[in-house]
Structure 1
Amino acid sequence: MCPCALKHFCYQIIGLSVTGVPGSMEVTWTTFNKTESLVEYGLVGGRLFEMTSKGYSTLFVDSGHEKRHMYIHRVILTGLKPAATYLYHCGSDEGWSDVFSFTALNDSTCFSPKFALYGDLGNENPQSLARLQKETQLGMYDVILHIGKFHTEPYDNARIGDEFMRQIQSIAAYVPYMTCPGNHEAAYNFSNYRNRFSMPGQTESLWYSWNLGSAHIISLSTEVYFYLEFGKELLFKQYEWLKKDLEEANLPENRAVRPWIITMGHRPMYCSDDDLDDCTRFDSYVRLGRNDTKPPAPGLEDLFYRYGVDLELWAHEHTYERLWPVYGDKVYNGSSEQPYVNPKAPVHIITGSAGCREKTDTFNPNPKEWSAFRSTDYGYTRMQVVNTTHLYLEQVSDDQYGKVIDSIWVVKEKHGFSAWF
């Protein structure tokens, strides 16, 4: 995200995101002056910038004392050819960004997408960033899942958020960068997060779902359980949305083609860190809900279990932890020899050690029986949804120069609530 020389218009590429509509991609960027919102693009090997799409900009005024003004530009590219690579730049005649490239997502349900996923990557001590940048530009990933905490909190009147966006450009400008909110985004009612990112749906990126390959992926806000000052109605609104979305995903005709249901949310239901966070408590708000609201607010564990969620991705804890299949604080392995083959409960992965200023956390020396593998190394997770029955996960240690320190295959011959029995 380097500044453009023309008229001092500074272009900050926030990056790409899926729209939920096959054959399309959304490009989002920021300027500090009001300009047109244009993306010029073309197929690699074809005529450069032979196509143009026009979008719109919205004025975002940061709530810090300077009331800094930013214009957030959004342009949707349509009619993209699956798996084709495009070159593009964005801006207007008053100044253009650098030239970037992306590969349009394959919209086939037989596609086997590859993901990098992590949370808690900040602008200070972003240790895993260089490796992620290189691997993204080598074409190792189709999508990035950033599971909360971006350091877009409005320190220094949102300039820290600007700097973070510049840092992730070398990832987010090349592949869809899909997000969910974390606790560090809470200032001014998550205003920086809600304005800077463009996720599918009409919920200001707080919760949404989308499909890729044989997976239905749901992003949610765990923060609705903790920031009731912004309105407890958000908690109930999200829960009802989740229930409706899961019901639709479980319709026989939908689950047949996209049997994997994967969720991502910032704060885990379970963890074995020693920091007294919500996930260390048996009565976790995220897991069991809150009884101090009227009416009591339901938690997520029973909902996800009832609708057969296969995999739950979390962050917030600055560690990596893989759990045995778990429900109700008890382990439900597929078998003692093959715990992740036809598991009898959802699989949980906590991946919050990408690198941030708070460093890594420490673990409770006496974890519960559901804790299968733990690491305090800086790193991130890779995932591939291989087909309708097989999903692969591995953990990369940046401390150990990219070594894979943990891996599992999740194998499910049957999906949905009935798969638990």
Structure 2
Amino acid sequence: MISFLLLAILLSPALASKVEQVHLSLSGDMTEMVVTWITKEPLPNVTPFVVYGVSNDALRWTGKANTTSWKSDGKEGTERYTHRATMQNLVPGDVYYYQVGSSLAMSDTFRFSQPDPSKPLRAAIFGDLSVFKGQPTIDQLISATQKNQFDIIIHIGDLAYNLHDDDGNVGDAYMNAVQPFAAHVPYMVFAGNHEVKSRFHHIVNRFTMPRNGVYDDNLFWSFDYGLVHFIAINSEYYAEEMTIEAEAQYRWLEQELKKSKATWKIVMFHRPWYCSTKSEKGCHADADKLSRKGVLGFPGLEDLLNKHKVDLILYGHKHTYERMWPIYNKKFFKSEDPGHIKNAPAPVYMLTGGAGCHSHEDPADEIPQDFSIKCLGEYGYTLLKVHNATHLYTDFVDTSVLEGKLLDPFFLEKN
């Protein structure tokens, strides 16, 4: 009798359609917020949706969701169902409450503040994070989110180690672990080398990033946030020898930079061009360097970024933190104060790949390059604050303690 009861419970529609892995993202329209979630079972004859409003007990508005069914690339071929809905007509700066699900099962109620581009921007940026070594960083991000310290969180490749492992169950566990911050703050992601399996299968199907008008598959994107134009590039097109996609991305990037009127331009990709390693040459892996200068069929990106006066370039892949002088074509530009650079003649580079990787790197074992200013081996993330049209601030947050310790205060100033 007990076994039959348990079976009935396990097969009940509410449990089968349980809402998981809720996370927010930006669409590029500052009056919208996208919400994405997963169920492990289909929702036959029902429509998934989001309900939202300005108070917890008045979720007056509804947005229907689109559903994508997809199978994992593991041996089991587990099928998952990704649901995507957009909350519209939002007022920047206002607080909203929401639930997602269907008539079979609903999520908890979450809340978020709609980003207000008229106020200073606060962001957490990092690469290379898993639950296995990254739980202290996840805990700190959750704590900071609860205190309303972020407007956006950006993950620059290598998620979960790996989203596809164990038939996708590792990805499920990771996305549920980050839900306490990702369901309250836009969580923006793009691919690193650990997302390339089966042509980026999991990052394409699990997330909803701004459309680029080329492939619209989460692999490269951009959005404006007040004074800042953020651009995410897929460096894995180069490492995976995908020439058609690399050239299409380059054409898109060129147009993005040409048309942008933003005061600050910030570009992010996964594989580093400049950094200190155990080699006297620093970062010199062919797969990493290819996107910098390029070869036939693979257009180089460095000249383009420098030409259009990109201010800041961030990447991960190497499992540490390093801040560098402005650099162009291997030439670096020193100034009087390494903690406060004014009118940089080239992009400032930051490596921020130590959020919580499996194989951490210790800068004490590396050979510092001449262009290096600060190397840190603690787990953590980069804090970005854009104060106004003249001052941008970054710091490194050590997540070994819950409150976080600030280890590398830096100002970038321009007239």
Q: TM-score if structure 2 supplies the norm length? A: 0.90
Check whether the contact 2:145–2:181 (CA below 8 A) recurs between aligned residues: yes
Which amino acid is the alignment partner of residue 17 of structure 2? F
Q: Among residues 237, 242, 245, which one is paired with 1:224 in the alignment?
A: 237
Superposed, 1:376-415 pairs within 5 Å as 376-399=377-400, 402-413=404-415
1:245 aligned partner: 256
The answer to whether residue 119 in structure 2 is matched with residue 115 in structure 1 is: no
The answer to whether residue 239 in structure 2 is matched with residue 235 in structure 1 is: no
* Corresponding residue SS for 1:146: strand
Which amino acid is the alignment partner of residue 241 of structure 1? W
Check whether the contact 1:153–1:186 (CA below 8 A) recurs between aligned residues: no
The answer to whether residue 86 in structure 2 is matched with residue 76 in structure 1 is: yes
Distance 2:180 2:69 in 1: 25
Distance 1:194 1:153 in 2: 11
Which amino acid is the alignment partner of residue 121 of structure 1? L
1:416 aligned partner: none
Deviations 1:189-235 (A, max 9, x none): 1100111110001421111110001001101111111012xx32111
Distance 1:156 1:71 in 2: 17
Distance 1:277 1:210 in 2: 35
1:148 aligned partner: 157
Question: Matched residue pairs, number?
Answer: 394
Task: Quote the sequence identity (%).
Answer: 34
* 1:62 positional shift: 1.3
The answer to whether residue 220 in structure 2 is matched with residue 210 in structure 1 is: no
* Corresponding residue SS for 1:115: strand
Which amino acid is the alignment partner of residue 264 of structure 1? M
Which amino acid is the alignment partner of residue 292 of structure 2? R
Distance 1:277 1:350 in 2: 16
Deviations 1:232-251 (A, max 9, x none): 211111111111111111xx
> For structure 1, which segment, 152-161 or 363-372, has the greater mean C-alpha deviation from structure 2 after superposition?
363-372
CA RMSD of aligned residues (A): 2.1
* 1:48 positional shift: 2.3
* 1:278 positional shift: 8.9
Check whether the contact 1:310–1:346 (CA below 8 A) recurs between aligned residues: yes
Check whether the contact 1:317–1:361 (CA below 8 A) recurs between aligned residues: no
Q: Among residues 201, 213, 217, which one is paired with 1:191 in the alignment?
A: 201
2:7 aligned partner: none
> For structure 1, which segment, 204-213 or 57-66, has the greater mean C-alpha deviation from structure 2 after superposition?
57-66
Deviations 1:135-156 (A, max 9, x none): 0111000000111111243111
Deviations 1:380-413 (A, max 9, x none): 1111111111100011112366211111010011
The answer to whether residue 139 in structure 2 is matched with residue 135 in structure 1 is: no
| 1:245/1:164 CA distance change after superposition, 3 Å | same
1:23 aligned partner: 31
Which amino acid is the alignment partner of residue 125 of structure 2? L
1:419 aligned partner: none
2:360 aligned partner: 359
Distance 1:76 1:278 in 2: 44
The answer to whether residue 99 in structure 2 is matched with residue 89 in structure 1 is: yes
* Corresponding residue SS for 2:203: helix
2:330 aligned partner: 329
* 1:163 positional shift: 0.7
Distance 1:212 1:22 in 2: 8
Distance 2:191 2:321 in 1: 19
The answer to whether residue 56 in structure 2 is matched with residue 54 in structure 1 is: no
Distance 2:253 2:374 in 1: 29
1:286 aligned partner: 291
Unpaired runs of at least 5, structure 2: 1-11
| 1:142/1:275 CA distance change after superposition, 3 Å | farther
Distance 1:403 1:103 in 2: 25
| 1:32/1:89 CA distance change after superposition, 3 Å | same
| 1:61/1:399 CA distance change after superposition, 3 Å | same
Distance 1:225 1:117 in 2: 23
Unpaired runs of at least 5, structure 1: 414-421
The answer to whether residue 279 in structure 2 is matched with residue 269 in structure 1 is: no
Q: TM-score if structure 1 supplies the norm length? A: 0.89
* Corresponding residue SS for 1:271: coil
* 1:334 positional shift: 4.8
Which amino acid is the alignment partner of residue 209 of structure 1? S
